[in-house]
């Protein structure tokens, strides 16, 4: 899903949450948007280029077709589980968890509607390792 859609959906979520959590919606919103930095990290590792604009253009044009078995560290279910557990001990981590979970949920919905992408996206470290063994 393109960043613009994440920004729109995350903004709507934060408008809904604002009466309940106040300014902490900024943490939720930031976590929901900046989780995608791992796409840029993946681009850097694979293309050996730090050009953010080329990375965005590449993802926008080719989506999930250009790299098989992507590994996006901030989208892993293991990280979400870890943050979920840590959120019992820290309120800020709880808001980060909510933002990242929301982001991943709308990504999962988007992937459900795009069967080709489902085969190329890895949501688990275990799944990613299994594909190479």
pLDDT, one tens digit per residue, over 74-118 is 888 999 999 999 999 999 999 999 999 999 999 888 888 877 666
* Higher-scoring residue by pLDDT: 27, 41: 27
Predicted pLDDT of residue 98: 98
For the chain, give the number of residues: 133
Give the ranges where 63-123 is alpha helix by DSSP (H). Answer: 77-86, 91-112, 115-120
- Contacts of residues 66-69 at CB distance under 8 Å and 24 or more positions apart, as own/partner, are 67/42, 67/120, 68/120, 69/120, 69/122, 69/128, 69/131, 69/132
pTM: 0.84
Mean pLDDT of 14-28: 98
Domain hosting 118: range is 3-131
| Structural domains in the chain (count) | 1
Predicted pLDDT of residue 55: 79
Structure-block tokens of residue 42: 């993946």
**pLDDT averaged over every residue in the chain:** 85
Task: Kindly state the DSSP code that residue 66 receives in the 8-state scheme.
Answer: S
Whether 102 contacts 32, CB under 8 Å: yes
Mean pLDDT of 41-45: 82
How far is it between the farthest Cα atoms of the chain?
49
Residue-wise pLDDT for 46-78, tens only, equals: 788 888 888 777 776 665 555 555 677 888 899
């Amino acid at each position: 899903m393109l960043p613009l859609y994440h920004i729109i959906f995350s903004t709507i979520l934060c408008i809904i949450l604002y009466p309940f959590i106040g300014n902490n919606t900024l943490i939720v919103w930031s976590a929901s948007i900046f989780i995608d930095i791992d796409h840029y990290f993946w681009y850097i590792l694979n293309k050996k280029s730090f050009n953010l604009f080329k990375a965005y253009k590449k993802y926008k044009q080719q989506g999930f077709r250009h790299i098989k078995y992507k590994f996006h560290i901030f989208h892993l279910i293991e990280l979400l589980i870890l943050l979920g557990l840590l959120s019992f001990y820290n309120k800020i981590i709880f808001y980060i968890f909510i933002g990242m979970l929301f982001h991943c949920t709308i990504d999962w919905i988007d992937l459900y509607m795009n069967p080709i992408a489902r085969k190329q996206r890895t949501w688990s470290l275990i799944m990613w390792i299994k594909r190479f063994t």
